[in-house]
Amino acid sequence: MLSVMIRESDLLKDGVSSNPNAEEQDLMREEAQKMSSVLPTMWLGAQNGCVYVHSSVAQWKKCLHSIKLKDSVLGIVHVKGRVLVGLSDGTLAIFHRGVDGQWDLTNYHLLDLGRPHHSIRCMTVVHDKVWCGFRNKIHVVQPQAMKIE
């Protein structure tokens, strides 16, 4: 009969040893940096108004940021460091990065395309502007100035 003594300090927890050496610490730090939204991201919108931001570099299954907006998300576009999210009530939510380089989902700008409220049917980037299909018109939005032309 073979008996093996395993100390708790020798066990791996979630694939990481409890006492990592310097090389393992550097690797863990590098992976943590990849999990920030400073690097490239993928944005997903849901019918319940939630927007989820995932890393497109590492561990893409883990959600980095999320926010609940006031209506269904129908479209998402990125242009010149801004992300525009079109909602089904005719509102655009405009997101930008914070001073630390991460996407700031707490300070965003809402732009109402008009009354009565109808869905923003489509959005496309044209040069440095975003064209939005709303009712029977096309609204041209300047993402940097956060206004309609």
12-44 pLDDT, tens per residue?
433 444 556 667 666 656 655 556 788 899 999
Which helix (H) or strand (E) segment holds residue 53: the answer is strand 50-55
**At 103, which CATH number?**
2.130.10.10
Q: Is residue 79 part of a domain?
A: yes
In a domain, 4, yes or no: no
Query: What is the number of structural domains in the chain?
Result: 1
Q: Specify the pLDDT at position 39.
A: 87
pLDDT at residue 24 in the model:
67
Alpha helices (H) along the chain: 22-34
Q: What is d(CA 14, CA 103) in angstroms, rounded to the nearest whole number?
A: 28
Quick check: is 66 in a domain? yes
Within a domain: residue 107? yes
Sorting pLDDT into bands at 50, 70 and 90, what band is 95?
very high
30 lies in which domain range? 18-148
What's the average model confidence in pLDDT over 97-116? 91
Q: What is the pLDDT of residue 58?
A: 82
12 in any annotated domain: no
Query: Residues 140, 149: contact at Cβ < 8 Å?
Result: yes
- Which backbone phi and psi does 105 adopt, to 5 degrees? -90, 0
